[in-house]
A and B are shown apart, each in its own frame.
Chain A
């Protein structure tokens, strides 16, 4: 708030910000650059830059079946989870936001209570339930619980969003003999696309990164998602650090791309949800 006339402000602030960015991005840069080095480079100079740059690690990973199979599994799980969360979430949120019925507040509180209990608490019985359903070692065994655990955040973000749609639009639609479900389909869904993108991205990134649930449900390497794959790969090739770094680096790209494309929406959605 120094209010310099050139609008640049205090140079100390920039220095601190630069330092901060260095600390926050250091490990990420370490992973990416490490993939371009050889193991002997990493051993002799652990914090150094690639010299010379080698691309062999990355091309090895990118030509391996394992990586692509696991990337495929992660993609299927993340897309299916996203679609499920968004579809079920927007339907329930619409009812919670724009219908008045007995038990509405209780239903909202029930979903909201889910925020307090991440998957950790339920994982042991959840695994047994999934086993009972015969879904162990299948992607649906991961997808269905992920949809359920994604609903609380989704509903908390979407309900205020849907409630903000002006009543006049609904009344106009009613005059045009549009039923409430028709209104939902023709007006609410198109109007709520920004909110749906926010919750969709959150669901996608959460699924892409999820570890504990796949750890319990998926026990065969062919069925692994990337987080399990990264861990398996790094214990399997524990001596080949450079290749582990290349594998790790490639597996974080989709989440980073999604995040950088939709950063504003993710941050806005999260802060909106938290502030209620």
Chain B
């Protein structure tokens, strides 16, 4: 994949994450007091509200893609070499996939009441 496409994804995920995290924070402070919003029942209720669970899933994907691409960029700037760069790229992709899979599992289980 061309670097410009990767960077377009990088910038797009950053913008998307900023918007969705802002919505997430606004939900926390406008619906009830911030302290109450973090009560166990209220947190679980968020996951059971499907549109909100979808938004959390989107935040997870956006931040994972953005974060691990950022890590890849930092690592290839620190050290160079064909095999090293290949290892960094695939390592970051694998770590991103694992994080998304684990996070999605949590969101799915909680929204289905498997807690």
A and B associate in one complex = no
List residues of chain B with CB under 8 Å of any chain A CB: none
